Amino acid sequence: MNIVILGSGNVATHLGRAFKMAGQSIVQVWSRNIDHAKELADTIGSEAVSDIDDLYTSADLYIIAVSDDAIRSVARQLKVGDKLIVHTSGSTPLEALDGVSEHTGVFYPLQTFSSNKAVDFRQIPIAIEANTPEDLAVIRSIADRLSERVKELNSSQRKALHVAAVLACNFTNHLYALSQELLEANNLDFDLIRPLIAETAGKINLNEPKAVQTGPAIRNDRGIIKSHLEMLKDQPDVYEIYEKLSQSIVNLHKRSQG
Amino acid sequence: MNIVILGSGNVATHLGRAFKMAGQSIVQVWSRNIDHAKELADTIGSEAVSDIDDLYTSADLYIIAVSDDAIRSVARQLKVGDKLIVHTSGSTPLEALDGVSEHTGVFYPLQTFSSNKAVDFRQIPIAIEANTPEDLAVIRSIADRLSERVKELNSSQRKALHVAAVLACNFTNHLYALSQELLEANNLDFDLIRPLIAETAGKINLNEPKAVQTGPAIRNDRGIIKSHLEMLKDQPDVYEIYEKLSQSIVNLHKRSQG
């Protein structure tokens, strides 16, 4: 199986490394910036390309792993006939590749990729989609080599999965950052709160989050909420987040009580 | 050392168990509801009391582990002379115990206690405070038996720590819950996102949160943000949270850039 990766960012890099570790070589890596293409290509024993017309036209799969707003334009520059072309975006519909090839699909690894941290790809869910059952089978066979958790999702489900990941991952990380900022403004070390973060995340491995919600909002402890808001009054950003999330905890509780 | 616990909720229960495990017995457990007092007292080999006037007046330490808004009234009913009395609240100042005894303090274990999950108390930070160095030394010696992470904080720092914990723990758990709700509305299982949650929390063990922020907001990917908000338009709660947190990510990034 000959695979070409278009892109050199975090997703392209982690995918490239995962393929290499799974014994699947990537024949070419394309990036507009040749240095970026080389950086990834060198680590995975591949060939770097910066002119998109220099790509082999005979590969079995072209993976477009670029930023969401660049997918369409990169796809349209790709002149490889009716080869199988996939993108790796959570929130871009399959239709974004319409007209580019008869054979299109999606290969979306759900993970928070930071360039400096290795991940265990076997546990990363990969959401796949394709125009035809045959293309889906090809995509699935490739995805199965990387992960034990391959799942067919339509574009609307995949987008819901992406939004859910933004809530549970990107936003929680930002709350960690706000928490650190507040601690440091009070001469406290972020280490004080790291065990709590681990416990909070660990707890939902075996529990439903709403069953283990704790804190002033779920207790409807208005005195404490008011005193916390008072402490945050000079940081309108955090103040509003505190207020909205506290209200949302109460609202979800009401919905659950039905 | 003779210790009395006032309260029978999550904090009282986890503290009682932790003391027992550390080889320190609790002589009495008080709760207005005798069944609640018994439930805890029985598991830790203690005596249950529901009339506050039945408490021994000769104990060395009285720990008031009740809800924040009940601390003052419980403290005022406690007629034990100038014994050492502490509360366990993050956001209640030490002064809440003024007039109750000459010897007062705070013993605040920073953790998210759910009744059904055991915790490793040795790793739980305990913030302590007292009116006098002598009382602080007594409180510290007791706290040291439970945890390796005992720290003296003043009331204002302790409150900041509590707010930081609400952000990093209570609110992140709520985001997990919202994430689950969104997934299930799209016939997707919360299990899909559990590895991502573990990875997100694990990542900040060795990194500063703001250095590993990912997602549409930090990339300033307005197209994706707009399409996510479109998906959330019928849930005003989640819509606003998505909007505020995305903006806050951008704002924090600007602050960091200085």
Q: What is the CATH number of the domain that holds A238?
A: 1.10.1040.20
Pairing of strands B61-64, B126-130: unpaired
B57 to chain A, any CB pair closer than 8 A? The answer is no
Instruction: Give the residue among B37, B65, B63 at the shortest CA–CA distance from B50.
Output: B37
In this structure, of A120-124, A127-131, B204-208, the range with the lowest mean pLDDT score is A120-124
Task: Say which DSSP state B167 is in.
Answer: I
Note whether B92 and B129 are same-domain residues: yes
Q: How far is Cα B134 from Cα B138, in angstroms, rounded to an integer? A: 7
Name the domain count of chain A: 2
Reported as a single tens digit per residue, the pLDDT across B170-184 is 999 999 999 999 999
Q: How far apart are CA A46 and CA B229, in angstroms?
A: 39
Q: Are residues A141 and A190 in the same domain?
A: no
Q: Do B147 and B64 share a structural domain?
A: yes
Whether residues A144 and A169 share a domain: the answer is: no
Q: Count Cβ atoms within 10 A of the Cβ of residue B76 and give its class: 0-12 exposed, 13-18 middle, 19 or more buried.
A: exposed
CB A59 within 8 Å of CB A77: no
Tell whether A213 lies on the interface with B, counting CB pairs under 8 A: yes
Q: Identify whether residues A20 and A108 lie together within a single domain.
A: yes
Cα B204–Cα B208–Cα B212 angle in degrees, nearest 5: 75
Instruction: Check: CB of residue B83 under 8 Å from CB of residue B101.
Output: yes
- Residue A240 φ/ψ, nearest 5 degrees: -65, -40
How does DSSP assign A186-224, residue by residue?
TT--GGGTHHHHHHHHHHTTTS-GGGG--STTTTT-HHH
Give the whole-angstrom CA distance, residue A63 versus residue A31.
Answer: 12
* Backbone dihedral angles phi then psi of residue B4, each to the nearest 5 degrees: -115, 135
Residues A16 and A37 occupy one common structural domain: yes
Amino acid at site A197: I
Do A175 and B188 count as a contact with CB atoms less than 8 A apart? no
* Domain final position from A106, A125, A153: A153
Contacts of B110 in chain A (CB under 8 A): 192-193, 196
Does A221 lie at the interface with B, CB-CB under 8 angstroms? yes
- Residue B111 confidence class, pLDDT cut points 50, 70, 90: confident
Instruction: For residue A197, give Cα distances in angstroms to A73, A204, B235.
Output: 41, 12, 27
Mutate to test the interface with A, among B87, B116, B169 (most CBs of A within 10 A): B169
Q: What pLDDT does residue A120 have? A: 79
Residue A13 and residue A120 in one domain: yes
Bridge partners for B128 per DSSP: B107, B152
- For residue B186, the SS3 value is coil
Q: Phi and psi of B85, rounded to 5°?
A: -125, 130
Same domain for B103 and B60, yes or no, is yes
Q: Residues A45, A93: one domain?
A: yes
Residue B35, pLDDT > 60, answer yes
Do B7 and B111 fall within a single domain?
Answer: yes
**Spatial contact of A81 and A132, defined as CB atoms under 8 Å apart:** no
Q: Indicate if the pLDDT at residue A15 is higher than 60.
A: yes
Q: Smallest CA–CA separation between A256 and chain B, in Å?
A: 10
Q: For the segment A58-70, what is each residue's pLDDT rounded down to a tens digit?
A: 999 999 999 888 9
| H or E segment to which residue B74 belongs | helix B71-77
Of A180, A186, A192, the CB nearest to B125: A192
B128 at interface of A, judged by CB pairs closer than 8 A: no
Q: Does B8 share its domain with B131?
A: yes
Residues from chain B contacting residue A116 (CB–CB below 8 Å) = 207
For residues A107 and A128, the answer to whether their CB atoms sit within 8 Å is: yes
Distance CA A113, CA A106 (A): 18
Residue A114 has pLDDT above 70, yes or no: no
pLDDT in tens, B77-108: 999 999 999 999 999 999 999 999 999 999 99
State which of B108, B123, B153 marks the end of a domain.
Answer: B153
Residue after which a domain boundary falls, among B153, B177, B205: B153
My answer on whether A111 and A202 are in the same domain is no
Q: Please report, for the domain that includes residue A123, its CATH number.
A: 3.40.50.720
Give the tens place of pLDDT for each residue, A34-51: 999 999 999 999 999 999
ipTM of the complex: 0.90
Whole domain around residue B192: which residue ranges? 159-257
